[in-house]
Amino acid sequence: MRKSVFALFALASAFEASACGPEFPQNLLDDRAATLADLPQRGFAREAASLLPAPDRPFTANERADWIYTEAVTREQVERTWLGGAAEVAALARGRADAASAYAAATGLPEEARRYLAGAAAYERGATGEALERFATVLELPVEERRHYGPWALHMQARLLAAREPDRARAAFVQLRKTVAAGAEDPLGLALDSYGAQARLLLDAGDVTGATRLYAQQAAQGSKFGWTSLLRVARRLVSDETALAAAARDPLLRQLVAVHLATRSDFFEGEDEAPELPDAALRFVDALEREKLDRVEGAGRLAALAYRSGRYELAARFVAMGEDGLAAWVRAKLALRAGDLDAATRAYAQAAREFPRDEPDPDGERVDTRRPGVDYCRVRGESGTLALARGEYVAALAHFLAANDWEDAAFVAERVLTVDELVAYVAQEAAHPSREEAARIGADLTPPLRALLARRLLRSERWDEALGHFDDATLRFKAQEYVDARRAALRGGRIERAQAWQQAAAIARVDGLELLGYEFAPDLAVWEGAYPNPYSFGYAAAGREVSSGSPVAHPPVLAIAAGPGDGERARVAASEARPDRRFHYRFVAADFAARAAELVPQRSQAYAALLCEAAGYVINDDGGLATGYWLRYVAHGAYLPWTGNFGHACEVPDFPAAAQRLRAERIAAVKRYVRKALPYAAAPVALVLILGVLGWRRRVSRKANLAMVSTT
């Protein structure tokens, strides 16, 4: 039992977890050349489900097809719904020894139930002939009186006839589907299951094409048994060279084999280890070349197979035969291989129009569930990669957002676009998106884009603009406190400015990730700073290797420069964090605290407390810088007993005491100045007095002389 539980856990873990930490979403910009050159393998189940169009009203699926999680609806549950408390009567009737006694025991039930239960009792006792007759009596009732058990009777008829009268069995399966389509209830999914049962009969009769068509119809309606049956048929065709050549001549089988060879169809053998294309792919491509086809159904699939096989001329031929999304996608790849950027851009645009945006995931394959419409999103993401190569930076952001690719979109928004370009884009596209705009750019990415811009504006000290982009009320309040502190630090007296710098430092340290942090490197705000950066976006090596996708058997050589150009590199350098350190806002906070320390008296308690705070903000990230703050305190500050645990246990700065000390220091400075200046000031004063006395005596003497002259 313990081994079984461990096995189930291991199986679940293989699909849900990675070896260390979270399984980071794959991005496209790490290896841009591979992104543009590779044609990703598509999931077999999704492709098989689209071999034939799905009907407007698909049949109900009731399959325990994943063998672990799905709880299928049971016969007992259905009968309790149909019959209520009388379901126990039905159970007793099934246990009777023969059809007649079962029919009698079911008295009180609807006639269709009594007749069916009689047939079921005969079937259980091995009386197949009588069982067939009893089931036939159910079908003799008027249509409106056999809406519950009529499909069950047809299903049992077909099963009993399959071995000895396959033609009649096939007719019963067809009638079963018609009955359900006409309105009969089918909670057990018998109509959908009948496709596979009928296909099995055709396979036994050698009609591979007919069986494939039925399996494809089944898969198109969401049956997991349908696509697994198609996979087995495809493997049979590929393993036989004669059958493979014959499949190249049949339109439906041709598509099935192409799907099998061009997708991760080894699902049960370890889907994550996509092997090189087998020799069968090359043999099949050769068979297609010999057919010299002028018109091909599903040309895109065949073009993809030829492209992945390195047969680029053949891929171009198939591309010319189709206008579906996959054909346009291959056309874009071929244009890039030829160096025609304009043609590639047009082909990508066509592919994006052809692929559905809300493509379902019928088989639960390991796809990124954040990205509905896997092919559409990948095509838009590659369009963004190409736009970057062309220097169309704003267009690249639009493509990545439409692809629901937040990793690459955030890099472009934060590091490639200028602040003004991002402000303009958000104002136009992500201010208050309508439903149509939400569908176009990915409404779920609008809030993080606005938050990213808010942080970038706050880092750029465009404070009023930043406040307008914090949509979360709590963050907006914190941002307002930060802005008020920064503005207060630019005016007023020294102590007031020191208090403002200290408040800004505390906010930057505590809430810096949400207010100032970079979405990816160096802060990783996207994951709350919990993990190292896994991406390089085409620049320096990242924290781990990131696969660019499925391998191409013969990787093409692109005739374009796919990596970052000079213009992009200059933009990325200009938007680099200052400092470019992990959790850069901690260093910003430390710098703010150190600025506050410069404004208070060095011998004050506040000076020591502020430098202690500065050291504490970075002590776990840069011990050398923290030591520098300590040495600055030792060189200039007063000894305080609590500083023995500097950087770890800091007192709250006593700004009132610092203000008193500043006033005292200023008064003392004036007194010292006066004392030093007094000896030098005495001589000029004495000279002024002497000159004043001499001048006075001169005036007095002059007046006396004038008086004598006038008397004479």
Return the structure tokens found at 498.
Answer: 């020191």
Greatest alpha-carbon span in the chain = 176
Report the alpha-carbon distance of residue 609 to residue 601 in Å, rounded.
Answer: 12
Give the C-alpha separation, 610 to 151, whole Å: 82
Q: Is 263 helix (H, G, I), strand (E, B) or coil?
A: strand
Asked if 197 and 204 touch (Cβ cutoff 8 Å), the reply is: no
Q: Which residues pair with 263 in a beta bridge?
A: 42
Residue whose C-alpha is closest to residue 319's, from 354, 276, 270, 370: 354
Taking residues 470-490, report their average pLDDT: 97
Query: Does the residue 20 lie in any domain?
Result: no
Q: With the CA atoms of 211, 215, 217 and 218 taken in that order, what torsion angle do they form, in degrees rounded to the nearest 10?
A: 140
Structural domain ending residue among the three candidates 169, 185, 208: 208
The pLDDT value given to residue 526: 93
Cα gap 511→389, rounded to integer Å: 36
Instruction: Give tens-digit pLDDT for 514-556.
Output: 999 999 999 999 999 988 888 999 996 554 333 333 344 445 6
**In-domain check, residue 488:** no
Give how far the C-alpha of residue 99 lies from the chain's centroid of Cα atoms, to the nearest Å: 59
Model pLDDT, residue 24: 58
Among the three residues 208, 238, 273, which one is the final residue of a domain in this structure?
Answer: 208
> How far apart, in whole angstroms, are the C-alpha atoms of residue 359 and residue 377?
10
168-179 pLDDT, tens per residue? 999 999 999 999
- For 706, the 3-state DSSP assignment is helix
| pLDDT at 418 > cutoff 60 | yes
| 216 C-beta neighbours (distance < 10 Å), count | 26
CA distance 448 to 460: 18
Q: How far apart are CA 176 and CA 184, in angstroms?
A: 9
Residue type, 662: L
Residue with tokens 């009596």: 137
Return phi, psi of residue 84, to 5°: 65, -135
pLDDT in tens, 141-184: 999 999 999 999 999 999 999 989 999 999 999 999 999 999 99
Q: Show the domain range for 691.
A: 667-712
In a domain, 126, yes or no: yes
Six-digit token string for 315:
């891929």
User: Of 170, 191, 208, which closes a domain?
Assistant: 208
Spatial distance between the Cα atoms of 403 and 395, rounded to a whole number of angstroms: 12
pLDDT bin (cut points 50, 70, 90) of residue 47 is: confident
CA distance 214 to 195: 5
SS3 (DSSP) at 690: helix
Quick: pLDDT tens for 69-115: 556 788 999 999 999 999 999 999 999 999 999 999 999 999 999 99
Q: Note whether residue 559 is domain-resident.
A: no
Per-residue model confidence (pLDDT) at position 223: 92
Q: By C-alpha distance, which of 462, 500, 465 is closest to 484? A: 500
pLDDT of residue 263: 79
Number of domains in the chain: 2
Residue 80 located in a structural domain: yes
**Per-residue pLDDT tens for 262-272?**
775 544 343 33
Q: How far apart are CA 707 and CA 712, in angstroms?
A: 9
DSSP per-residue codes, 320-375: HT--SHHHHHHHHHHHHHHT-HHHHHHHHHHHHHHS-TT---TT--S--TTSSSHH
Rounded Cα distance between 284 and 306, Å, is 10
Side-chain half-sphere exposure of 380, counting CA atoms within 13 A: 29
Q: Which residue has the higher pLDDT, 492 or 546?
A: 492
pLDDT mean across residues, the chain: 85
Examine residue 678 and state whether it is found in any structural domain, yes or no: yes
End-to-end CA distance of the chain: 148
Q: Summarize the confidence of residues 630-644 as an average pLDDT.
A: 96
Q: What is the C-alpha R_g of the chain? A: 41
* Angstrom distance (rounded) from CA 63 to CA 363: 12
d(CA 656, CA 493) in angstroms, rounded, equals 13
What gap in Å lies between CA 326 and CA 349, rounded to an integer? 12
User: Of 152-166, 418-432, 571-585, which gets the smallest average pLDDT?
Assistant: 418-432
Q: Which segments of 44-127 does DSSP mark as H helices, in order?
A: 44-48, 75-83, 87-94, 99-105, 111-124
Position 152 in a domain: yes
Residue indicated by tokens 């698909």: 58
What does the pLDDT average to over 404-408?
92
φ, ψ of residue 42 in degrees (nearest 5) = -100, 150
**Domain CATH code at residue 109:** 1.25.40
Peptide bond preceding 522 in cis form (omega within 30 of 0)? yes
The pLDDT of residue 116 is 95
CA distances (Å), origin 422, targets 427, 441, 469, 476, 679: 8, 15, 12, 20, 66
Left, alpha or beta for 250 (phi > 0: left; psi -120 to 50: alpha)? Answer: beta
Specify whether the CB–CB gap between 138 and 131 falls below 8 A.
no
Q: Whose CA is closest to 127, among 107, 105, 156, 92?
A: 156
Query: Given the structure tokens 């004063």, which residue do they identify?
Result: 685
Q: What is the DSSP string of 456-508?
A: HHHHTT-HHHHHTT--SHHHHHHHHHHHHHHHHTTSS-HHHHHHHHHHHHHHH
CA distance 350 to 336: 15
Express each pLDDT in 271-295 by its tens digit. Answer: 333 344 457 877 888 888 888 887 7
541 is a domain residue: no
Question: Cα–Cα distance between 172 and 630 in angstroms, integer?
Answer: 89
CA 239 to chain centre: 38
- pLDDT of 220 over the 50 cut: yes
Dist CA 406 CA 525 (whole Å)? 13
Handedness of CA 16, 22, 23, 24 (dihedral sign): positive
One-letter identity of residue 362: P
